[in-house]
Amino acid sequence: MSGGESDAQLGAGGAEHLGEEARAALSLSDKERILFAQTERWIGYSEAQKVLQRLEDLLEHPRTTRMPNVLIVGDTNNGKTQLVKRFRDLHPARDAPDGDGVVVPVLMVHAPDEPNDGRFYNEILDALGAPFGDKDSVDARMRQVYHLLGRVRVRMLIIDEIHDILGGSRNKHHQFLKSLKRLGNKAMIPLVGVGTQEAFNAVNADPQLGNRFRPAVLPLWKADREFRRLLASFERLLPLRYPSRLAERSLATKLHGMCEGTIGDLAMLLEEATVVAIRSGRERIDAELLDSLGWVLPSNRKRRPHP
């Protein structure tokens, strides 16, 4: 063992570097601790909390024929989808108070991989667990969607990967945006688009629709004090017996360079490092362990590999 910590110190009264849940996980087997480390957990950093509050305000907005919308924009793997999943989980589906069916306050779907009304309605019907026939007309599916959104009392529709609607012809793109605008107007619910920078182009192709989508940007992380706070929060979730001190400046700078400022890559990096730290018996993450991972920078993954 290193660092001077004994097994006794790491019992119920030790491991002060960990949160309560991770501290309890130290009593698990190595395999169970690895599964614990690989389980997705929410970290409520400040920018995410601001966006969550905006969504909360939008959810409570009085119904009008021109509902305001939000467009959450950020780089790939920078926490957009996890954030909206968190919001959805804060407002789960539940049994209707009158016992007639269920209430689904927040419905989340993926945008179709091309601007296609039929596929979009299919996504909504699938998310609601509603049967539909492949031979049903687009208009029939549209009417079914409008009916069900009202019946289960949907108050917000989240559309992930909305930049995907840029595919296809210009005419199909504009037609899809008209359908999106019609859905928001008819159901009188706010729409939340989620995507990369291209999402701006996708939505603003229709000026009227674009004016209703207020952007909420999740920027890349800087190697600053806020990033070090994030690392400290991560460390409290990693079931390692000894402190890694991830927030110390030298290690924080190294981690920032490896993840290139995206929280998703940071989470994957720390997960991989935690698994190695457990299996090797090292029980902490340090620069030497990080160097041993063979980690590929996010920017390098986009390049064509050499044969």
CA quadruple 256, 257, 259, 263: dihedral positive or negative?
Answer: positive
Residues 6+ apart with CB under 8 A from 127: 107, 108, 109
Give the Cα separation of 162 and 106 in Å (integer): 17
Rounded to the nearest 5 percent, the helix, strand and coil shares of the chain are: 50, 10, 40
**Beta carbons within 10 angstroms of residue 303's beta carbon:** 9
3-state secondary structure of 288: helix
Helix (H) or strand (E) holding 174: helix 170-187
Bridge-partner residues for 191, per DSSP? 157
Q: In this structure, what token pair is assigned to residue 51?
A: 């966006």
Which of the residue ranges 142-146, 173-177, 204-208 has the most confident prediction, judged by mean pLDDT? Answer: 142-146
Q: Which residue has the tokens 């990033």?
A: 227
pLDDT reading at 10 higher than 80: no
More confident residue, 133 or 216: 216
Domain residue limits, the chain = 28-41+221-298, 61-218
The superfamily in CATH containing domain 61-218 is P-loop containing nucleotide triphosphate hydrolases (3.40.50.300)
Q: What integer is the mean pLDDT of 42-46?
A: 90
| 8: confidence class by pLDDT, cuts 50, 70, 90 | very low
Quote the mean pLDDT of the chain.
Answer: 89
Query: Kind and range of the H or E element at 147?
Result: helix 138-151
Q: What is the pLDDT of residue 167?
A: 75
Q: Given a cut of 70, is residue 288 above it in pLDDT?
A: yes
The answer to whether residues 108 and 154 touch, using CB atoms and an 8 Å cutoff, is: no
User: Does the pLDDT of residue 52 top 70, yes or no?
Assistant: yes
Tell me how far apart the alpha carbons of residues 125 and 109 are, in angstroms, rounded to a whole number. 10
